[in-house]
Amino acid sequence: MNIENIEAFVYVNHYGSFNKAAEVLYLSQPSVTARIQTLERELDCRLFDRLGKQILLTEKGKQFLPYAQQILQTMQKGRLHLQERGSRPHELRIGSTVSVSNYLIPDLLPKLKQQYPQLSFKLTTAPTDELVKKVLDRELDIAFVRKLAHPSVQSYPFYEDPIKLYVYEGHPFAAVGKVSIQEIRYQSLLFFECGSLDWQRLHRVFEQLEHSPDILLHADNSETAKKLVMQKAGICFLPGLCVREEVSQGRLIPIEIEETKGISLQTNLIALTGENEEFIEALLPKNNVSFYSI
């Protein structure tokens, strides 16, 4: 039984799409289809059903999936043990999103250096999709990314950053500290969005309003959005990490809104399955205490 056919099966199930699995595996869609068909002939059963555009596992496929996943994990671990690693690497290649690079890495790296004084570090800042690809291609050892699931990657929750509405000093909301979501429709709103799925919850809150907020500007950079708020161009929903200094100085004021309570951005720490476990272990919070605390 060909391991590549099993890999194609696991990836098609994970992404729910032959096209997406082909893209991730750097194959053509017909090649992935051929691999699945070969595996089905070897197993003498159908593994997937099509329901319109949706691809679903058959009962036989559901039964085979945990074994296929275990085969892939065992192969990867075996490959790692056969590699000549020698001693601990001299360089740790770390990837991170822009927000992590700006607000977490400056605190995290010095503490990591204390624990591993013999290591040098190489930092790459990029969007989550690009960082995941670099980890899969072994161009990065570990990466801090938005919440995700991938069959070849270990992913651990690392940091949760609450999203709140922030206003400038002297804004009418600053005096009360708490407003209803309906009240923001009368305000000039700056909207920062980093492309994460976490922002969909905020969109859904807006969709429930009878009248949409007056969005003056869409920004893809939190620093730009933050500075515009301080220039009194409008108010903005922002992750707490990027405004902690301004909040401590009283230049920005967080406003509680019941309908958006609990919305946050989750940062995960990822690495290839079975690799760099020592560094993962060192970085993950222990007893609710991590390298970084706000």
Alpha helices (H) in 54-180, listed in sequence order: 59-82, 98-103, 105-115, 128-136, 172-176
CATH number of 160-263: 3.40.190.10
Sequence ranges of the domains in the chain: 3-82, 91-159+266-283, 160-263
- Per-residue DSSP letters for 120-150? EEEEEE--HHHHHHHHHTTS-SEEEEES---
Q: Which CATH architecture has domain 3-82?
A: Orthogonal Bundle (1.10)
Task: Tell whether the model's pLDDT for residue 294 goes beyond 80.
Answer: no
Burial of 31 (0-12, 13-18, 19+ CB in 10 A): middle
Q: What is the pLDDT of residue 240?
A: 92
Mind listing the pLDDT tens digit for each residue in 191-248?
A: 887 655 556 777 778 777 777 777 888 888 889 999 999 999 999 999 999 999 999 9
Contact 199, 207 (CB under 8 A): no
Q: What is the pLDDT of residue 169?
A: 94
**For the chain, percent of residues with pLDDT exceeding 70:** 90
Distance CA 277, CA 221 (A): 32
Do 91-159+266-283 and 160-263 have matching folds? Answer: yes
- Whole-model pTM: value is 0.67
Alpha helices (H) in 119-260, listed in sequence order: 128-136, 172-176, 200-207, 222-230, 244-248
pLDDT band at 290 (very low <50, low <70, confident <90, very high): very low
Burial of 20 (0-12, 13-18, 19+ CB in 10 A): middle
CA end-to-end distance (rounded Å), the chain = 51
**Mean pLDDT (whole number) for 139-168:** 90
Task: Tell whether the model's pLDDT for residue 88 goes beyond 80.
Answer: no
Contact 215, 191 (CB under 8 A): yes
pLDDT band at 65 (very low <50, low <70, confident <90, very high): very high
Mind listing the pLDDT tens digit for each residue in 69-84?
A: 888 888 877 766 665 4
Distance CA 22, CA 7 (A): 11
CATH number of 91-159+266-283: 3.40.190.10
Least confident of 78-82, 275-279, 284-288: 284-288
